[in-house]
């Protein structure tokens, strides 16, 4: 079955949450005239598609993918964050899909990347408590969920609870990217989140997105330079109390001689997560796994220890990083 067909059965996506982070000053006056629908059910999609200011895009999506895109991106489109969806960068499966969108004056960028999550994305993240320890649950406005009923639903993993958790993962990714971009890290600038999606800077050429680093062979000199750039970014993250949590060459884009870190929903705060050092060691091991193949001489354990201590974190190791599940394996 086409995974997008699942969309029609997803009760938990009936409600389109409010969109936030809209810098009103950046919105062009006069064009934002459409009243945003807050309750959009799949069978209303066709009507929505017919409406004025509906999202009609160049990308040739299948019927269900199209409905999914309309549901997730129409509000951003109506708020004039972008003018068109041009192509699928990656995905189309059961997790997140990333699309290349045509930018406009709002962000002053030629293209944007829209990361649109499938509802299953975080349900498949086994051992998610490893990352959620000490974390606040965030609502679709990025605020802490304090409502007892909502927290109970999350603890009981009801349908509502799963939806709230899903939103919380996305908001954590958006907040982490905002924090790191602000701090000068090499991450795509995030613009807005909500509605199952994040809009951010697109990294790549007109007709091709930047490849992930794992597909690239570097010469020794460039490998050494990019390794230093990666370490510099890790130091910025630690200074902001963040560990990526899924760092590897698969989550680093390589574009015109520079690297960009992506994919942050599982990022953790060492101040509140007791597994932080083990997770950090795993990040360093995976990063070094790639750079070692490119001729860089690095010892992940020593490097992890040095960076950790240098940034003032105490070394506690409740979990052996080699025992942590690997993304993509059945245990993750
Ligand atoms: N800002 C961006 N610009 C260009 N391409 C991007 C951007 N963000 C993500 N991508 C592409 O989309 C892919 C998936 O993005 P990301 O890693 O954030 O999501 P994911 O849920 O982990 O998906 P996957 O499991 O496929 O890695 C990346 O590997 C990259 O190829
Ligand atoms: Mg990824």
d(CA 60, CA 88): 9
Q: Which atom of ligand 1 is nearest to the CA of 121?
A: 21
Cβ count within 10 A of residue 126: 12
Answer yes or no: do 127 and 271 share one domain. no
Contact partners, residue 16, CB within 8 Å, separation at least 6: 36, 37, 38, 39, 40, 71, 75, 195
User: How large is the average pLDDT for residues 138-167?
Assistant: 90
Do residues 115 and 88 make contact, with C-beta atoms less than 8 angstroms apart? no
Neighbours of ion ligand 2 (CB under 5 A): 251, 263
| 248/190 same-domain check | no
* Residue-wise pLDDT tens digits, 278-321: 999 999 999 999 999 999 999 999 999 999 999 999 887 666 55
224's tokens: 């050494």
Tokens of 146: 């304090």
Ligand 1 atom closest to Cα of 253? 30
From the CB of residue 10, how many other CB atoms can be counted at a distance below 10 Å?
16
- Domain closes at, from 201, 236, 260: 201
Last residue in a domain, options 201, 228, 262: 201
Which domain covers residue 134, as residue numbers? 3-201
Q: Are residues 24 and 154 in the same domain?
A: yes
In the reported structure, the alpha carbon of residue 33 is separated from the centroid of ligand 1 by a whole-number distance in angstroms of 32
Looking at the structure, tell me whether residues 169 and 237 fall in a common domain. Answer: no
Q: Report how far ligand 2's centroid is from the alpha carbon of 84 (Å).
A: 24
Domain total of the chain: 2
Q: Which residues face 243 on adjacent strands?
A: 268
pLDDT digit string, tens, across residues 114-126: 999 987 766 666 6
Tens-place pLDDT, residues 258-274: 999 999 999 999 999 98
| Domain assignment of residue 87, yes or no | yes
Q: Is residue 332 part of a domain?
A: no
**Residue that has been written with the tokens 């199952």 in this structure:** 196
Give the residue, out of 86, 90, 95, 215, with the most ligand 1 atoms within 8 A of its beta carbon, to mutate for a pocket test. 90
159 and 302 assigned to the same domain = no
Predicted TM-score (pTM) of the model is 0.83
* Claim to verify: residue 34 and residue 61 sit in the same structural domain: yes
State the average pLDDT over residues 217-229: 98
Q: Answer whether residue 330 is part of any domain.
A: no
CATH at 260: 1.10.510.10
Ligand 1 proximity of 210 Cβ (cutoff 6 Å): yes
Least confident of 128-137, 206-215, 295-304: 128-137
């Amino acid at each position: 079955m086409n995974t997008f067909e699942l969309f029609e059965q997803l009760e938990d996506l009936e409600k389109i949450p409010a969109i936030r982070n809209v810098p009103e000053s950046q919105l062009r006056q006069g064009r934002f005239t459409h009243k945003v629908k807050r309750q959009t059910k799949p069978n209303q999609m066709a009507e929505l598609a017919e409406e004025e200011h509906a999202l009609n895009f160049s990308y040739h999506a299948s019927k269900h993918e199209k409905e999914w895109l309309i549901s997730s991106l129409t509000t951003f489109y109506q708020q004039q964050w972008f003018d068109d969806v041009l192509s699928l960068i990656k995905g189309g499966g059961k997790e997140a899909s990333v699309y290349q969108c045509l930018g406009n004056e709002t962000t002053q960028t030629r293209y944007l990347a829209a990361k649109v999550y499938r509802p299953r994305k975080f349900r498949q993240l086994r051992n998610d408590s490893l990352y959620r320890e000490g974390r606040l649950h965030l609502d679709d406005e990025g605020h802490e969920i304090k409502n007892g009923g909502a927290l109970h639903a999350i603890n009981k993993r009801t349908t509502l609870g799963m939806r709230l958790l899903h939103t919380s993962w996305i908001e954590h990714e958006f907040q982490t990217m905002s924090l790191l971009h602000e701090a000068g890290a090499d991450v795509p600038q995030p613009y807005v989140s909500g509605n199952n999606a994040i809009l951010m800077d697109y990294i790549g050429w007109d007709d091709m997105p930047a490849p992930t680093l794992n597909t690239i062979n570097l010469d020794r000199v460039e490998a050494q330079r990019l390794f230093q750039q990666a370490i510099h970014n890790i130091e910025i993250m630690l200074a902001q109390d963040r560990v990526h949590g899924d760092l590897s060459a698969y989550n680093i884009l390589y574009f015109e001689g520079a690297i960009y870190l992506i994919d942050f929903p599982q990022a953790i705060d060492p101040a509140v997560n007791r597994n932080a050092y083990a997770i950090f060691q795993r990040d360093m091991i995976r990063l070094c796994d790639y750079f070692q193949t490119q001729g860089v001489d690095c010892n992940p354990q020593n490097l992890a220890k040095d960076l950790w201590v240098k940034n003032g974190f105490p070394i506690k190791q409740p979990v052996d990083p080699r025992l942590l599940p690997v993304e993509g394996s059945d245990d993750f």
